[in-house]
Chain A
C-alpha cells in the first residue's frame, strides 16, 4: 500500500505570507494526487487535482506542483479564510490514502 507523508504537521503564518506544504508518497504515484482544505466541523473541500490542476472557483493564490513521489501545495498571500487543515490524497491504486494533514495556524 502507498503511504502519504505530509510536512510540516503544523504551520504558523501571518496574513499575506507565502507558505508551502509538502506531501511525499512511499512510491511513485505519477500525478495522481489531490489536495483538500478542511475547516473544523466541515467536510473537506477539493482544491487541486492531478497534482496541479486548480478546481473551478478556487482562488489562484493556491497552486500545486510535483510528480512521482514529491508534491507541494503553495499558497501565496495568505488570507484569513485560508487558515485550515490541508490534506493530500493519492488516487494511483487502491487502497487510496491521505496524508496526515497540515494545520495552518495564524501566527
Chain B
C-alpha cells in the first residue's frame, strides 16, 4: 500500500534552515510528481511546492519562492524540502503528497511533520 512518511520537523530559530524528508513506498516513486502542502496551527491548507517525476520542473508558492527548494532522489524514493531564512509564519505541519497524473490533485498524503519557527 502507498505510504508517505515525513520527517525532519522540529523547533528552529528564525533565519535558520531546516530540511524535511518524505520517504515513499508502495508505488513507483519515480513515475509521479510530488507536492508539499502545509497547514499553520488552526489554519487552512496552503500549497507550497511541486516537483516533476524526474526532478526537472519545480514550482513554488510566492510565499516561499527564493527561500525553499524542492528536490527528490528517485534512487532512494525520497522527496525533500529545503527551507532557509525561516520565518515565524512558516510554522506549520508540512505534508508531502503524491500527485495523480496527468496533473494537479493528490490522492495520497503523509501524516505530516511539524515545523516550529521560534526563538
Residue ranges of A at the interface with B (Cβ–Cβ < 8 Å)? 1, 32, 34, 36, 38, 42-46, 49, 55, 87, 89, 91-92, 94-101
Contact = CB atoms under 8 A, between A and B. Distances in A.
Sorted nearest first, the 8 A-B pairs with minimum C-beta distance are A91-B104, A43-B109, A34-B105, A94-B59, A101-B44, A96-B47, A98-B45, A100-B44
B100 interface: yes
Interface of B: 35, 37, 44-47, 50, 59-62, 95, 100, 103-107, 109-112
Contacts, number: 55
A45 B87 CA distance: 28
Contact of A46 (B61, B103, B107): B107
A32 to B, nearest CB: 6
A95 B47 contact: yes
A95 B59 contact: yes
Contacts of A100: 44
